[in-house]
Amino acid sequence: MMGLMQDVPLTVDRILDHAANWQGNREIVSRDAEGRVTRSTYAAIHADAKRVSNALAAEGIKQGDRVATMGWNSARHLSAWYGAAGMGAVLHTLNPRLFLEQIAYIANHAGDRLLIADPATADLVEELLPQVPSIEKVIFFCDAASLPQTSFPAIAFDDWIAGQTADFDWGGFDENAACGLCYTSGTTGNPKGVLYSHRSNYIHALMTLQRDALGLSARDTVLLVVPMYHANAWGVVYSAPAVGARLVLPGQRMDGESIYNLIEQEGVTYSAAVPTVWQMLLQYMQENGKRFTTLERVTIGGSACPESIIRTFRDDYGVDVIQGWGMTETSPLGTVSVPNASVAAKSEPEQMAYKLKQGRLLCGLEMKLVDDAGNRLPHDGKTPGRLMIKGPTIAGAYFGGEGGDVLDAEGFFDTGDVSTIDGEGYMQITDRAKDVVKSGGEWISSIEIENIAMGHDAVANAAVVGVSHPKWDERPILLCQLKPGASATAADLTQYLDGKIAKWWMPDDVLFVDDIPLGPTGKIDKKAIRAGLEGYKLPFEVSR
Ligand code: ADP
């Protein structure tokens, strides 16, 4: 017997309809491409998004066609996002920080028909266009006065939508229709496209709105630091309008001072970003003696959150840090580290151990650990295994069938992460499978050593990589970037680590570097580090 409830397709246009109808005056603050801070509302964004749908239809864009954007977080970008999705096109977010060849590969693979880009990327677009014949037209996120000089005909976004009406019938298609396309950065092999559906994005928004997830509310002012081109903007493009949160879109300026000023000027209560952004912000605040007056909590994810960041936010600024784990392929949120009842009853040091874990699974998902042969491993908090995940917000295949069949026999997706799961259900990433240090047949967690090393007063950033060793296969070495003006020796670092990690995890060498290379989404680029270490020899042979 079937249920008798209304069969309403879960398409994301309904989310912005809801925001416009019921929180229409709620403000959207945006630093636009011209550098100005502008003020809009959900109702105005909704109207502009409908104009975008009409403009796209006038270009001949049909359901399923890919429309690319390449820009920072702005109100215009938000209108384009919903304008494309609402009329059934697929919004494909390109990351302007990738290499030209990668962007060209991705845009060709996606078969993008239109490109809407920030004017600051005009030089990049100039080089890109000859390499991507599928792009028929370029629109820049700006007004006519700010249109960059280009050798190709381009049009300003404001002009492009100006003549269009704000009437357009959104939706009317299957909730499983494609809605957005986002490529993983391809740290192994070519980038692969994750093709979100309306349904997966709608469900993801509801999942992340739980109090024990991102927990956004109508009373929040949300600063969306996570770029809209990174991992589906962590779903905030859907969850903020779903609850009518006030949204602040920071544009291109991501330095500590600019982020701090926006937080204070706009009364931001909540934000989300990768650890490197928060490190920059905290450094700026410490150097300039700044305080937060409104910020209550931040979600940190994308890479492991060092304890020093959690403590500084909490002890010095009264801000709660919540760690989340996810990936482009998981929409992205999979787990969040918030205390359950039994963890909440523990002492402060015990609770910190849980905050450092990547957390508990969101409702609707399943996860398991397996060995290399695919056998399930115990959830004992000690045994590391490949993390596998399943659910309606998890990729079932890559765009264009890249990578072939990506699910195991039980329908689980291999995250490429190695983790443990404890008896309370807390998952902890020990490494990415391709970054693990395997010494004497056992795994050493580079992430754990990095986190501890970053607790040392002199250390600004730390990275652990494995180097080959004649006896143990691999041994870890530690790269440290010191804070400006700080000094430390290799012996200081090993002394600091002594007693905090297993003896056989102790790095065999400590190298001081000016810079730890970061990838295009602000994560430590271990591939670049390993490439830079080619020919490196360990200073001595160790015994375990
Ligand atoms: P990429 O970095 O390859 O572009 P994603 O942005 O999708 O792709 O990154 C997903 C990966 O980031 C995860 O598989 C995991 O390795 C890492 N990651 C995400 N959140 C965390 C976290 N809180 N702690 C540790 N690693 C994390």
**Interval between CA 64 and ligand 1 midpoint (Å):** 28
Check: CB of residue 367 under 8 Å from CB of residue 388.
yes
DSSP string of 32-95?
Answer: -TTS-EEEEEHHHHHHHHHHHHHHHHHTT--TT-EEEEE--B-HHHHHHHHHHHHTT-EEEE--
Check: CB of residue 475 under 8 Å from CB of residue 503.
no
Nearest CA to ligand 1 atom 19: 302
CATH code: domain of residue 478: 3.30.300.30
The whole-angstrom separation of Cα 135 and Cα 126 is 12
Residue 261 included in any domain: no
132 and 183, same domain (yes or no): yes
Q: Which residues of 531-544 are buried (b: 16+ CB within 10 A; e: fewer)?
A: eeeeeeeeeeebee
**Interval between CA 326 and ligand 1 midpoint (Å):** 6
Which residue blocks in 166-291 are alpha helix, DSSP H? 198-208, 236-243, 256-266, 275-288
**Interval between CA 491 and ligand 1 midpoint (Å):** 31
Residue 270, SS3 per DSSP: strand
Q: Is 337 in the pocket of ligand 1 (CB under 6 A)?
A: no
Boundaries of domain holding 365: 289-434
Task: Please state whether 259 falls in left (phi above 0), alpha (psi between -120 and 50) or beta.
Answer: alpha
**Interval between CA 279 and ligand 1 midpoint (Å):** 17
Residue 224 included in any domain: yes
Final residue of a domain: which of 375, 407, 434? 434
- Give the pairing of strands 413-421 and 333-337: unpaired
Q: Nearest 10 degrees: CA dihedral of 95, 98, 102, 106?
A: -10
Nearest CA to ligand 1 atom 10: 327
DSSP string of 142-182?
Answer: S-GGGPPP-SS-EEEHHHHHHTS-S------S-TTSEEEEE
Task: Please state whether 408 falls in left (phi above 0), alpha (psi between -120 and 50) or beta.
Answer: beta
Two tokens, residue 283: 């450094």
- What are residue 395's phi and psi, to 5 degrees? -60, 140
Residue 386 included in any domain: yes
Q: Is 330 in the pocket of ligand 1 (CB under 6 A)?
A: no
Residue 328 CA: nearest ligand 1 atom is 7
Mean pLDDT by 10 residues, the chain (544 residues): 97 98 98 91 98 98 98 97 98 93 96 98 98 98 97 98 97 97 77 97 98 97 96 96 98 94 98 91 95 97 91 96 97 98 96 96 98 96 96 98 94 96 96 84 86 92 90 90 93 94 91 90 86 83 44
Residue 203 included in any domain: yes
**Interval between CA 299 and ligand 1 midpoint (Å):** 14
Domain count, the chain: 3
Residue 247, SS3 per DSSP: strand
The whole-angstrom separation of Cα 278 and Cα 477 is 25
Which residues are within 8 A (CB) of 223 and not within 5 positions of it... i.e. 6 or more apart?
Answer: 248, 250, 259, 262, 263, 266, 268, 270, 271
49 and 186, same domain (yes or no): yes
Place of tokens 């229709």: 177
47 and 135, same domain (yes or no): yes
Residue 429 CA: nearest ligand 1 atom is 25
Q: How far is CA 76 from CA 9, 19, 32, 56, 496, in A?
A: 26, 17, 8, 14, 49
**Interval between CA 324 and ligand 1 midpoint (Å):** 10
178 and 74, same domain (yes or no): yes
CATH code: domain of residue 328: 3.40.50.12780
Check: CB of residue 38 under 8 Å from CB of residue 75.
yes
Check: CB of residue 218 under 8 Å from CB of residue 239.
no
Give, for 335, the enclosing helix (H) or strand (E): strand 333-337
The whole-angstrom separation of Cα 5 and Cα 8 is 9
162 and 128, same domain (yes or no): yes
Residue 301 CA: nearest ligand 1 atom is 23
296 and 425, same domain (yes or no): yes
Q: Is 102 in the pocket of ligand 1 (CB under 6 A)?
A: no
Nearest CA to ligand 1 atom 26: 303
Q: Is 231 in the pocket of ligand 1 (CB under 6 A)?
A: yes
Q: How far, rounded to the nearest angstrom, does the alpha carbon of residue 18 sit from its chain's CA centroid?
A: 25
The whole-angstrom separation of Cα 527 and Cα 531 is 6
Q: How far is CA 483 from CA 26, 100, 120, 462, 480, in A?
A: 41, 32, 31, 11, 10
Q: Which among 69, 67, 110, 95 has a CA at the least distance from the CA of 400? A: 110
Q: Is 520 in the pocket of ligand 1 (CB under 6 A)?
A: no
Residue 282 included in any domain: no
Please report, as a single letter, which amino acid is at residue 480.
Answer: C
Q: Is 328 in the pocket of ligand 1 (CB under 6 A)?
A: yes
Check: CB of residue 463 under 8 Å from CB of residue 523.
no
Residue 439 included in any domain: no
Q: Is 304 in the pocket of ligand 1 (CB under 6 A)?
A: yes
Q: Is 451 in the pocket of ligand 1 (CB under 6 A)?
A: no
Residue 447 CA: nearest ligand 1 atom is 25
Residue 92 included in any domain: yes
SS3 for 134-148 is CCCEEEECCCHHHCC
136 and 209, same domain (yes or no): yes
337 and 367, same domain (yes or no): yes
310 and 422, same domain (yes or no): yes
Report the pLDDT value the prediction gives residue 276, as an integer from 0 to 100: 86
Q: Is 415 in the pocket of ligand 1 (CB under 6 A)?
A: yes
Pocket test for ligand 1, best of 325, 432, 434, 446 (most atoms within 8 A of CB): 325
**Interval between CA 304 and ligand 1 midpoint (Å):** 8
Nearest CA to ligand 1 atom 8: 184
Q: Give the catalytic positions in this structure.
A: 184, 329, 438, 443
Q: Cβ of 82: how many Cβ atoms within 10 Å?
A: 28
| Residues forming a β-bridge with 420 | 428
Q: How far is CA 431 from CA 233, 333, 416, 434, 443, in A?
A: 23, 18, 9, 8, 9
Q: Which among 108, 98, 106, 102 has a CA at the least distance from the CA of 130? A: 108
